[in-house]
Amino acid sequence: MKDFKLYAITGEEFHQGRDLIEVMEEAILGGVDIIQLRDKKSKKIDVLKKAQALRELTKKHDVTFIVNDHIDVALAVDADGIHVGQDDLPLTEARKVMGPDKIIGISTHKIEEARAAEAGGADYIGVGPIFETKSKEDVVDPVTTQYIQQVANEITIPFVAIGGIKLHNVDQVLAAGATRVCMISEIVGADDVKGTCEKFIEILK
Ligand code: TZP
Ligand code: MG
């Protein structure tokens, strides 16, 4: 897969009424190079409509587009890939459905899961939640930056740190060995989405 540094996940509950596509375009203009549509609440038809609009946006800006959970929607809009959790369709089956060329990312919370993801053919793994987060229901306890160190030492596929990452604590995440970071609230909930992304890009350099 094309490498990335700054990964933004949608979270419309943080938009304060702003339009999904406008917010995500600001994020892209600020330097986000991969976007994930994550919508746990809407009906399939509405997820599809958002995915179609985000596919168009990400094509226009040459940004990678990932869909969370909905493999059918990902295929229908020709997204670049999907992101699954530990309790979703297992990697082997997800690969059968997606085919060899699409990206499959998977969330991991401990080194055993990271090893299994690598062995199972994932293209990248999510590593987290690093810090406390209010953006995910049923979230496991923070894994801390220690888990980043373990993954950085052992896992060879790309990994992205996630969970409670903010401008004020991202230094700890990078110091532990992460080179890619992923956020919901700090990006899409920012008063200045583009400016916030530009600051992250500056720090990630
Ligand atoms: N997976 C692990 S933590 C998390 C997800 C989807 C939520 C991240 O959101 P935030 O607002 O960046 O803490
Ligand atoms: Mg899932």
Rounded to two decimals, what is the model's pTM? 0.97
Q: Does 38 count as an annotated binding residue?
A: yes
Ligand nearest to the CA of 86: 2
**Nearest by Cα to 39 from 19, 76, 13:** 13
Q: Does 68 count as an annotated binding residue?
A: yes
Which residues 6+ apart lie within 8 Å of 109 measured at CB? 86, 128, 129, 140, 143, 147
pLDDT attached to residue 56: 98
**Nearest by Cα to 155 from 166, 145, 147:** 147
pLDDT attached to residue 140: 87
Beta strands in 21-177 (DSSP E): 34-37, 64-68, 81-84, 103-108, 124-127, 159-162
Ordered by start, the domain boundaries in the chain are 6-204
pLDDT attached to residue 138: 80
pLDDT attached to residue 187: 98
Which residues 6+ apart lie within 8 Å of 5 measured at CB? 31, 33, 179, 180, 181, 201, 204
How far apart, in whole angstroms, are the C-alpha atoms of residue 176 and residue 131?
Answer: 13
Per-block mean pLDDT, blocks of 10 residues, the chain (205 long): 96 95 98 97 97 98 98 98 97 97 98 98 98 90 96 98 98 98 98 98 97
Q: Is 38 a catalytic residue?
A: yes
pLDDT attached to residue 141: 92
List the catalytic residue out of 38, 55, 102, 194: 38
Q: Is 44 a catalytic residue?
A: no
How far apart, in whole angstroms, are the C-alpha atoms of residue 36 and residue 34?
Answer: 7
Q: Is 136 a catalytic residue?
A: yes
How far apart, in whole angstroms, are the C-alpha atoms of residue 91 and residue 16?
Answer: 36
pLDDT attached to residue 162: 98
List the catalytic residue out of 50, 107, 180, 194: 107
3-state DSSP assignment of residue 42: coil
For tokens 């894994």, what's the residue? 143
How far apart, in whole angstroms, are the C-alpha atoms of residue 140 and residue 110?
Answer: 11
**How far does the centroid of ligand 1 lie from the alpha carbon of residue 202, in Å?**
22
pLDDT attached to residue 190: 98
In this structure, which residue's CA is closest to atom 6 in ligand 1?
A: 136
ipTM passes above 0.95:
yes
Ligand 1 probe mutation, 39, 136, 170, most atoms within 8 A of CB: 136
**Domain at 6-204, CATH class:** alpha beta
pLDDT attached to residue 137: 85
